[in-house]
Structure 1
Amino acid sequence: MNSIINRFLSNLKWLLLRRQLGSYKSKVYISSKVTMKYPECIHFGCNVGIGKMTCFLPVKQYAGVRYNPQIIIGDNCMIGIRNSFACIDRIQIGNNVLFAGYVHITDHSHGYEDVTRPIALQTLISKGIVVIEDDCWLGFGSEILSGVHIGKHCIVAARAVVTKDVPAYSIVAGNPARIVKQYNFENQQWEKKI
């Protein structure tokens, strides 16, 4: 009985939410307690699953500055529990991307340059948009920071902090993340990087 009620409530929530979204294709599965601030800035592809307590937090205005944020999630993406997406410009996720739990992606940080003002009152700063191409897997507790472009078919290890671009067909780990393996198409295997 509880599963029927939960399914009904989930469908009702989706019916109300889809009118507010920037765009969506179809089949977006939203678990409980998902937060979507400014849903008009959020775009979903087809067959997207969103885990419990995930937050989509586009920032339209902060410290007197207006922004035009966009969070774009491609087709067949599965987002684990308690993920967070925060942007002032754009976070763009390709197709078939898997997210473990507690992944954090942001395209900005707090300004801190003016030491006479509290950090909370300073404008937000960014190194650029975040792009994650198709077929990637983001491990538990990983973080992707502003200005990062992750190429196709990459793996980000658990708790890695990605601060710079990652070429396609790479595995990164650590804080800051560095390449630990890359796929060699000539011998068709993953090779360790020293």
Structure 2
Amino acid sequence: MSFVSAFIQRVLNRVENAASREQIRRLRSAGSGIVLGRGVKIEHPECVSLGDRVHLNDHCWLSVLTENRETGNPTMTLQPELRIGDGCYIGRFGTLACINRVILGRDVMISDRVFIGDAVHGFARSDLPVRDQYLTSKGSVEIGDGTWIGIGVSILPNVAIGRNCVIGANSVVTRDVPDFCVVAGNPAKVIRSIAESS
């Protein structure tokens, strides 16, 4: 690597570190030891809480909306809450979309390219494009302590996943998952239980 390239890389690293510190500073609450990878984007950080030792890998997106809009109708004010517990890891290109409530317990491990969202785009009106209609949330998303979510998983609104679960790669989770279960598929179904160790 040439001197110029090395210099440019150092400058880019400093800019990225400063941007990460600024995003952490603006959070609703922030624990210690938070790591933000390159290109992490946190919208409305005032609605986001990160615990100790949370690691958001490169290009994670915490998409939090405080207003819900539909063409020709009044804007609705939202009060979202996105909370990520101590020791959580979210892989590259992970997206958490929140207009209502998304809660991750402690030590949740999320692989790359996972989508977790508590809302969907409305599509009931034929006179408007989908993007111009209100978002709707059927309920919050909650993920229990110690759960592992495989690569490419989608977790949809109004879902509670228990403690120490395993969600198989590319699964689409549309309903609650009990503690200590392995689920997979589209829609995801329980494959087996994991014995709880005392």
TM-score normalised per structure 2: 0.87
- Aligned counterpart in structure 2 of residue 22 of structure 1, from 14, 17, 28: 28
| Cα offset, 1:19, TM superposition | 2.2
Cα distance, 1:15 vs. partner? 2.7
- What's the Cα RMSD here? 1.8
Contact 1:10 1:30 in 2 (8 A): no
- 1:98 & 1:167 partners in 2: Cα distance? 17
1:104 to 107, 110, 115: 115
Aligned residue among 173, 180, 185 for 1:162: 173
**What 5-or-longer segments of structure 1 have no aligned partner?**
189-194
Amino acid at match of 1:94: G
Q: Give the structure 2 partner of residue 191 of structure 1.
A: none
- In 2, Cα distance between equivalents of 1:12 and 1:114: 44
Cα deviation, residue 112, structure 1: 1.5
Instruction: Tell me if the contact between 2:23 and 2:42 (Cα under 8 Å) persists in the aligned partners.
Output: no
* Deviation >3 Å, runs of 4+: 1-11
Please point out which of 121, 128, 134 is paired with 1:123.
134
Contact preservation (8 Å) 2:183, 2:189: yes
Give 1:115 deviation, angstroms: 2.4
Given that 1:109 and 1:124 are in contact with CA atoms closer than 8 Å, whether structure 2 keeps it comes out as: yes
SS state of the match for residue 18, structure 1? helix
Alignment match, 1:54: 60
2-structure distance, mates of 1:11, 1:126: 34
Percent of pairs with identical residues:
32
Find the aligned partners of 1:36 and 1:153 in 2 and give their Cα distance: 27
Asked if the contact 1:62/1:123 (under 8 Å) is kept, the reply is: yes
Alpha-carbon distance between aligned partners in 1 of 2:39 and 2:127, rounded to the nearest angstrom:
38
Deviation of 1:4 after TM superposition, in Å, equals 6.4
